[in-house]
């Protein structure tokens, strides 16, 4: 089971949805979130931060280590390990995927009644185009998809 959370960035102008894989780590492991507009405010330990297309995530690595140890996970508690293994990562491929997915489904919803096959084909092709654009932009999770 996984938990999803929403966090605002440090300046409060943007937010992102996160997935806490296996409910292993508490939300407090994400100490700070900086959007491209407030990334200059990031003044913590660079070794505890991960940058993804202008966004910066700052982790409490000591807290993460405690919870990883409880599960017998001996890999180093680095931001890259936490993020890439899905223990605390974007819900989707980027901070805006939750809203993008919602907008896509709302826009295509009328097709469900009219032509379900067309709805499914359009949904698939548009989402694949979205993911391709994220890959081209360099989003970390999209590059591994």
pLDDT for residue 3: 83
Query: Tens-digit pLDDT profile for the chain (145 aa)?
Result: 678 999 999 999 999 999 999 999 999 999 999 999 999 999 999 999 999 999 999 999 999 999 999 999 999 999 999 999 999 999 999 999 999 999 999 999 999 999 999 999 999 999 999 999 999 999 999 998 8
C-beta atoms surrounding 74 within 10 Å: 8
Residue among 5, 12, 10, 142 at smallest CA distance from 84: 142
pLDDT for residue 14: 97
Distance of CA 77 to the CA centre of its chain: 18
Alpha helices in the chain (DSSP H): 61-70, 79-84, 97-114, 116-137, 140-143
pLDDT for residue 1: 62
What CA–CA distance (Å, rounded) separates 1 from 8?
24
Residue 15 is encoded by which pair of tokens? 């937010």
Q: Where are the domains of the chain?
A: 3-90, 97-143
**Geometric angle at alpha carbon 95, from 111 and 81, rounded to 5°:** 125
Threshold 0.75, pTM exceeds: yes
């Amino acid at each position: 089971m996984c938990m999803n959370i929403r966090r605002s960035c440090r300046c409060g102008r943007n937010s992102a949805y996160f997935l806490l894989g296996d409910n292993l780590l508490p939300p407090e492991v994400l100490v700070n979130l900086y959007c491209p507009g407030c990334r200059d405010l990031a003044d913590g330990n660079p070794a505890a931060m991960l940058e993804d297309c202008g966004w910066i995530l700052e982790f409490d690595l000591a807290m993460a280590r405690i919870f990883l140890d409880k599960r017998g996970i001996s890999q180093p508690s680095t931001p890259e390990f936490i993020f890439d293994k899905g223990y605390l990562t974007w819900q989707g491929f980027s901070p805006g995927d939750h809203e993008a997915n919602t907008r896509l489904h709302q826009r295509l919803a009328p097709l469900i009644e009219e032509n379900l096959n067309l709805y499914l084909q359009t949904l698939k092709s548009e989402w694949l185009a979205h993911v391709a654009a994220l890959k081209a932009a360099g989003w970390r999770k999209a590059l591994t998809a």
